[in-house]
C-alpha cells in the first residue's frame, strides 16, 4: 500500500521509514519514465515552492526549479540577500510568514539547526536541500541511481573515499535504511560524526546493512560495487583547502585505486568535482563513471519528493 507523505518534512533520511524511502524511489522511477516518453504530469498546478539559498548552488537550484515547473508549479528563488534573515528576523518568524504564502519550503544552508527551526515553526513541508551536517536529497538520488544501474540496493557494497562530511553522513543513513553496506574511508581526524555513525548503525541492524569506518583506501574499495567520492574541502572550509590537499593526497580516486577494486565497480561523485584532487579526469570521464546519470537523477528524485509531500 502506498505511504501517505503529504505534509512531511524531508530533513534527514534517518527520519524516514524504509517504506517511505521506497515510495520516493518508486515515484521517481514513475516520473522519470513519464518524462522520457513526454507524458505531462502536473499534480502541483497552482502550488509554489520557496527556495532559500544561503549557499551557492548549481544542481540543487536548477533541479528543484525545473522539477516544480515540470510538475505544474512555481519555484521562487530566495537568496540570503532577498530575505530579512540577514537583518535580524528570526527563523521562526520567517517560517510563520512563508507558510502563509507558500505550499512548501526548500532550504540550502550551513547550519543544520536552521532547518530544524524552520521546520518546527512552519506549517508547510520543509525540504533540506543541504546543510553542513546532511545532504538527504543528494543521497536519495544516489540510491535511485544505484538501484537503476544494479537492479537492487540490498547487499550492495558502497565505499566512500574522502572527508566524513554531510554526504558521508547521509550515505550512511541511506545505506542503513535500504540494506546497503557502506564503508567510509577517511584520514584519521576526518571521520564522520560519531553520533551520526551510531544512529546509522542502529538503522543498519534492522535492515541487514553494515556501516564500517576504515583508513586504507585500497582495503575500502576491494569488494566495492560502488566507489564514491566528494570534494575534500566543502563550502565554508576554504581556508583549510591547502592543508586538506596534503592530508587527503592518498585518498584520490584514480586509475591506480580502481585497479584495487572490482573491474565493474561504478564510480560516483555528487559534484561539483575538483578534478585533479579527489578524482582524476580519466576516472570521472571513464567507462566506470556514472556521475552525470547521478546528477540527472537529482531532478527525478526531487520531483518525486515534491509530488509526495506537497
The domain segmentation of the chain, as residue ranges, is 13-134+297-309, 137-295
Active-site residue, selected from the candidate residues 61, 108, 181, 269: 108
pLDDT of residue 86: 57
Active-site residue, selected from the candidate residues 14, 112, 135, 269: 135
Active-site residue, selected from the candidate residues 14, 185, 270, 294: 270
Active site residue 135: yes
Cβ of 198: how many Cβ atoms within 10 Å?
10
Active site residue 108: yes
pLDDT of residue 85: 66
Active-site residue, selected from the candidate residues 70, 138, 147, 252: 138
Asked if 189 and 165 touch (Cβ cutoff 8 Å), the reply is no
CATH 3.40.50.1370 is the classification of domain 13-134+297-309: yes
CB neighbours of 305 closer than 8 A, spacing ≥ 6? 10, 24, 127, 137, 140
pLDDT of residue 241: 85
Do domains 13-134+297-309 and 137-295 share one topology? The answer is yes
pLDDT of residue 6: 97
Active-site residue, selected from the candidate residues 137, 169, 230, 269: 230
Architecture of domain 137-295: 3-Layer(aba) Sandwich (3.40)
Asked if 128 and 136 touch (Cβ cutoff 8 Å), the reply is yes
Q: Is the pTM of this model over 0.75?
A: yes
Helices (H) and strands (E) in the chain, counts: 12, 9
Active site residue 185: no
Active site residue 241: no
What backbone torsions phi and psi does residue 37 show, to the nearest 5 degrees?
-100, 5
pLDDT along the chain (310 residues), means of 10: 90 98 98 95 97 90 97 93 72 93 97 96 98 98 98 98 98 98 97 98 98 98 98 77 92 97 97 96 98 98 98
pLDDT of residue 256: 97
Amino acid at each position: 500500500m502506498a505511504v501517505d507523505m503529504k505534509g512531511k518534512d524531508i530533513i534527514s533520511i534517518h527520519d524516514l521509514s524504509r517504506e517511505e524511502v521506497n515510495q520516493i524511489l518508486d515515484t521517481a522511477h514513475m516520473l522519470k519514465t513519464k518524462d522520457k516518453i513526454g507524458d505531462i504530469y502536473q499534480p502541483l498546478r497552482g502550488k509554489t515552492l520557496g527556495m532559500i539559498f544561503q549557499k551557492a548552488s548549481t544542481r540543487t537550484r536548477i533541479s528543484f526549479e525545473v522539477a516544480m515547473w515540470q510538475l505544474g508549479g512555481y519555484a521562487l528563488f530566495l537568496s540570503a540577500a532577498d530575505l530579512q534573515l540577514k537583518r535580524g528576523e528570526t527563523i521562526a518568524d520567517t517560517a510563520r510568514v512563508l507558510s502563509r504564502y507558500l505550499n512548501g519550503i526548500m532550504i540550502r544552508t550551513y547550519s543544520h539547526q536552521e532547518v530544524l527551526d524552520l521546520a518546527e515553526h512552519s506549517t508547510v513541508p520543509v525540504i533540506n536541500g543541504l546543510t553542513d551536517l546532511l545532504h538527504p536529497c543528494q543521497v536519495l538520488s544516489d540510491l535511485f541511481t544505484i538501484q537503476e544501474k544494479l537492479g537492487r540496493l540490498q547487499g550492495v557494497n558502497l565505499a566512500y573515499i574522502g572527508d566524513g562530511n554531510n554526504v558521508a553522513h547521509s550515505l550512511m543513513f541511506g545505506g542503513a535504511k535500504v540494506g546497503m553496506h557502506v564503508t567510509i574511508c577517511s584520514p584519521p581526524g576526518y571521520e564522520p560524526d560519531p553520533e551520526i555513525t551510531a544512529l546509522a548503525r542502529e538503522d543498519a541492524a534492522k535492515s541487514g546493512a553494515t556501516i564500517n569506518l576504515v583508513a586504507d583506501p585500497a582495503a575500502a574499495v576491494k569488494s566495492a560495487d560502488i566507489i564514491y567520492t566528494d570534494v575534500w574541502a566543502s563550502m565554508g572550509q576554504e581556508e583549510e583547502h591547502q592543508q586538506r590537499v596534503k592530508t587527503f593526497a592518498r585518498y584520490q580516486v584514480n586509475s591506480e585505486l580502481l585497479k584495487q577494486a572490482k573491474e565493474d565497480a561504478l564510480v560516483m561523485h555528487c559534484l561539483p568535482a575538483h578534478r585533479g584532487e579527489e578524482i582524476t579526469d580519466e576516472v570521472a570521464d571513464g567507462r566506470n563513471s556514472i556521475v552525470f546519470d547521478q546528477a540527472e537523477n537529482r531532478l527525478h528524485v526531487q520531483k518525486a519528493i515534491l509530488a509526495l509531500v506537497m
